[in-house]
Amino acid sequence: MAKNQTKELTATEVRNVAKFEVSEAAVALASRFGLNLDDPREIRVERAAQNMNRSMHCMVAAGLDLSSLQAECEHGEFLNLIEERGFGKDAAYRAISYTKFLLARTEDERERLLAMPKSKVLMLAAADDAVIEDLLTDEHSDLDDLSVRGLRQRIRELEATSTDLAVQRDKADADLKALEKKQRRAERDAEDQVVPLVVADARAELAALIKKAELAITSLHPVGVEIVGLVAHNEAAEWVKPSLRLGLSGLLALRELVDGSIKSFVEAMGEDVDRVSGQPDVLAFLDASEIKGVAEDWARLTAVHQHEAALREHERAQARPKGKGRPTKAPEAPATTGSKK
């Protein structure tokens, strides 16, 4: 049975391996490129390496020319140019990507990459930035000694490690946010411990209801805008004003309810209801010292505004041509640190 397996393996190897014969066609093709296939092995392998490097350098040169052409061409013009020369866009974009990848590296890294086989450089160019950085900057990296298959495996391993680290980082961020949220909740709970439980529940319900009312009111405006936009609609135009009246009547009814609730809250606080009657007054609940502070701030802001206007007028006057005489003095800035007594 072992003999049969050996025969089968040998047959498989013979079928899968393409043998190269130095035929007349091969000799003719080699002579076309100036090659002599009878040269010593050392000469042929050195020549093969030079041609491989020359192929990569030609790709870089092509990528540079194509990149400059792509930057100059209008939309669609670049593809027409390369198709007229008989090569497809995939090959052109591959050369452009290859060149851009080399240009994005440092000079030392670029020289190192130019000494590598083209297939390895293209494989590196398709990897993640972090993986590329790791492979090129690691002093102990065996990048130059790796085969193409080994490099592919190394890139997969590094990308998997990078993904694992990203997942761990995201998990750590989520855990940190959860801890911060838990800490804030603990601080609120500590504050609520001072307040009786029944009061804390009522305060929470107040806050929730006020937020719901706020959301409902703010949602009404977009609906009104949408209704107004139906003016140009043939069938809906006559319903615009009635619909707006519906919304307006509802808002007015809500305002009555809000005013009634405000009145009951103010009375429960023992405050004067007249202080919140009519239009809202931003000074209604300020004491005398706060009102004085607002007045002083207003006076200072007004003085600064007037000084800026006077200074601009002075600059315009100075820019106009004048005859002989002393220049006018610039206006002095007002004191803004406090009011004069």
Q: Which amino acid, residue 286?
A: L
E strand map for 155-250: none
Is the predicted pLDDT of residue 56 greater than 50, yes or no?
A: yes
Looking at residue 181, its pLDDT comes to 84
Q: What gap in Å lies between CA 76 and CA 86, rounded to an integer?
A: 16
Position 140 scores a pLDDT of 59
User: For 47-53, what is the mean pLDDT?
Assistant: 72
Taking residues 120-139, what's their average pLDDT?
77
Whether the pLDDT of residue 242 is over 80: the answer is yes
Q: Is the pLDDT of residue 281 over 60?
A: no
Q: pLDDT grade, residue 11 (50/70/90)?
A: very low
Q: Which amino acid is at 134?
A: D
Amino acid 90: pLDDT: 84
Q: How far apart are CA 301 and CA 62, in angstroms?
A: 66
Asked whether the predicted pLDDT for residue 301 surpasses 50, the reply is: yes
Q: Return left, alpha or beta for 325; rule: phi > 0 is left, psi -120 to 50 is alpha, else beta.
A: left
Q: What backbone phi and psi angles, to 5 degrees, belong to 326?
A: -75, 140
Task: With a cut of 50, say whether residue 16 has pLDDT above it.
Answer: no
**The predicted structure's pLDDT at residue 273:** 65
Contact criterion met (CB below 8 Å) for 315 and 275: no
Give the pLDDT band of residue 278 (cuts 50, 70, 90). Answer: low
Phi, psi of 330 (to 5 degrees): -70, 145
Lowest mean pLDDT among 5-19, 90-104, 200-214: 5-19
Is the predicted pLDDT of residue 159 greater than 60, yes or no? yes
- Confidence band (pLDDT; 50, 70, 90) for 341? very low
Confidence bin at 283 (pLDDT 50/70/90)? low
Q: What is the mean pLDDT of residues 48-57?
A: 72
Q: Which band of pLDDT confidence, cut at 50, 70 and 90, is reported for residue 76? A: confident
Q: What is the pTM of this model?
A: 0.36
Distance CA 81, CA 101 (A): 23
Mean residue pLDDT across the chain:
77
For residue 338, CA distances in Å to 283, 287, 288, 291, 301 come to 22, 20, 18, 15, 11
The pLDDT value recorded for residue 15 is 40
Contact 237, 230 (CB under 8 A): yes
- Count of other CB atoms within 10 angstroms of residue 98: 20
Query: What's the CA gap between 116 and 125, in Å, rounded?
Result: 13
Q: Greater confidence, 286 or 221?
A: 221
Q: Which helix (H) or strand (E) holds 289?
A: helix 288-319
Q: Is the model's pLDDT at 52 over the cut of 60?
A: yes
* H or E element at residue 245: helix 240-268
Residues 310-340 pLDDT 10s: 888 877 877 777 666 566 777 887 765 544 4
- What is the per-residue pLDDT for 18? 44
DSSP for 9-41, written as a single string: HHHHHHHHSPPP---HHHHHHHHHTT--TTS-H
Helix (H, G, I), strand (E, B) or coil at 340: coil
Residues 123-146, mean pLDDT to the nearest whole number: 75
DSSP string, 109-174: HHHHHHTS-HHHHHHHHTS-HHHHHHHHH-TT--GGG--HHHHHHHHHHHHHHHHHHHHHHHHHHH
- pLDDT above 90 as % of the chain: 1
User: Does residue 302 surpass a pLDDT of 60?
Assistant: yes
Q: Flag the least confident range among 45-54, 185-194, 272-281.
A: 272-281
pLDDT for the residue 275: 65
Q: Max alpha carbon distance in the chain (Å)?
A: 122
Average pLDDT over residues 88-117: 82
